[in-house]
A and B are shown apart, each in its own frame.
Chain A
Amino acid sequence: SAVISQKPSRDICQRGTSLTIQCQVDSQVTMMFWYRQQPGQSLTLIATANQGSEATYESGFVIDKFPISRPNLTFSTLTVSNMSPEDSSIYLCSVVGPSGRVGGELFFGEGSRLTVL
């Protein structure tokens, strides 16, 4: 199994500011993902965080708005830039393990609940 520590767990931010969310995994994992869950909605994949290269973004998400870092196989950050109230969501880090294949078990962080005023 994989244990994921995600922080902050929640934050209240002002419009126009940026917030960085951290995700730490207790083991090396190949596949790491960032999701957004808007109020009352299911999970939407933002991007796949790739170690040593740029993240792969899904349609509707761009690097300027959601820059992602992945310096090693156990850590990643997601920044929500120039925030607006529409960015108020839960942001979740997820990994696939231990096999690392897409069909492997899913593990999630505790989520970061972001409110933008």
Chain B
Amino acid sequence: KNEVEQSPQNLTAQEGEFITINCSYSVGISALHWLQQHPGGGIVSLFMLSSGKKKHGRLIATINIQEKHSSLHITASHPRDSAVYICAATGNQFYFGTGTSLTVIP
């Protein structure tokens, strides 16, 4: 069983749609990260959360510590949002989800 589970594994959306990606974890953590990986392979850190909610542009990340659950929301999705989104939990080590592959169709 993976310490970090993401859903869905794959997601296709029409441009403009509201998107939610979910992440559940089973370990004690000090922080929860949302990462974005583009087709070339490079990874960018979107958010680091330890509680509550963070917003950056059209991206919103929330975390519920009691339920051990986090969500990444994308409002008004755009084709350039197409990427793999990875949830990562850090406790005494790093745990990575398997990623959600998002495709936004114009």
Contacts and interface: CB of A to CB of B under 8 A. Distances in A.
B6 to A, nearest CB: 9
B98 A105 contact: no
B41 A92 contact: yes
Given A41-B98, A42-B99, A43-B86, A102 B92 contact: yes
Given A42-B86, A103-B30, A108 B94 contact: no
A110 interface: yes
A111 to B, nearest CB: 3
Most buried by A among B35, B50, B91, B94: B94
A12 interface: no
B45 A108 contact: yes
A28 B30 CA distance: 23
Contacts of B42: 108-111
Contacts of B45: 105-108
Contacts of A111: 40-43
A19 interface: no
Interface residues of A, number: 22
Interface string A26-55: 000000010001000111010000000000
B42 to A, nearest CB: 4
Given A103-B30, A106-B35, A90 B41 contact: yes
A103 B31 contact: yes
A113 interface: yes
Given A106-B88, A110-B42, A45 B30 contact: no
A113 B41 contact: yes
Nearest to A111: B41
A94 B48 CA distance: 15
Interface in B80-96: 86, 88, 90-94, 96
A43 B42 CA distance: 12
A23 B98 CA distance: 24
A83 B91 CA distance: 33
